[in-house]
Homo-oligomer: A and B are copies of this chain.
Amino acid sequence: MKKLGLVYVLLIGLFLIYVLNYKLHPDPADPWDTAGLRGNIEDKYVMVTFQSGIDYWKSVLKGFEDAAEELNVSVEYHGSTQHNASEQMTVLEQAIAKKPAGIAISAVNSKLLTATINKAVESGIPVVLFDSGAPGSKAYSFLGTDNFNAGAEAARKMAELTGGKGSVAIITTPDQHNHQERTDGFSHTIRSEFPEMKLVSVKDGRGDQVASRQAAEELLSQYPKLGGIFATESNGGIGVAEAVRGSGSTLQIISFDTDKGTLDLVKEGRIAATMAQGTWNMGYWSLTELFQLHRDLQEDPDAYEGSKPLPVPDKVDTGIDVVTRANVDNYYAK
Contacts and interface: CB of A to CB of B under 8 A. Distances in A.
A330 B309 contact: yes
A133 to B, nearest CB: 13
Interface stretch (A14-22, A80-88, A193-201): A14-22
A276 interface: yes
A319 interface: yes
Interface residues of A, number: 53
Given A5-B1, A12-B12, A70-B34, A314 B320 contact: yes
A313 B319 contact: yes
Interface stretch (A118-126, A158-166, A281-289): A281-289
Interface in A1-55: 1-2, 4-6, 8-9, 12-13, 15-16, 19-20, 23-24, 34-38
A20 B306 CA distance: 43
A105 interface: no
A312 interface: yes
A276 B314 CA distance: 13
A321 B327 CA distance: 41
Nearest to A25: B35
A296 to B, nearest CB: 12
Nearest to A284: B311
Contacts of A320: 314
A259 interface: no
B2 A34 contact: no
A37 B70 CA distance: 6
B15 A72 contact: no
The number of times this chain is found in the oligomer is 2
Nearest to A39: B36
A297 interface: no
Contacts of A36: 36-38, 70-72
A296 B288 CA distance: 17
A3 to B, nearest CB: 9
Contact of A146 (B13, B16, B315, B318): B315
A91 interface: no
A70 B295 CA distance: 12
Interface in A44-82: 69-72
Contact of A281 (B278, B313, B331): B313
15 contacts: A15-B16, A23-B23, A34-B70, A36-B72, A37-B37, A37-B70, A146-B315, A278-B309, A288-B288, A307-B326, A309-B330, A310-B319, A314-B317, A314-B320, A316-B317
Given A143-B313, A146-B315, A315-B319, 18 more contacts: A1-B5, A2-B4, A5-B6, A5-B8, A8-B8, A12-B13, A12-B16, A34-B72, A146-B314, A278-B314, A281-B313, A306-B330, A307-B326, A309-B321, A309-B331, A314-B317, A314-B320, A317-B317
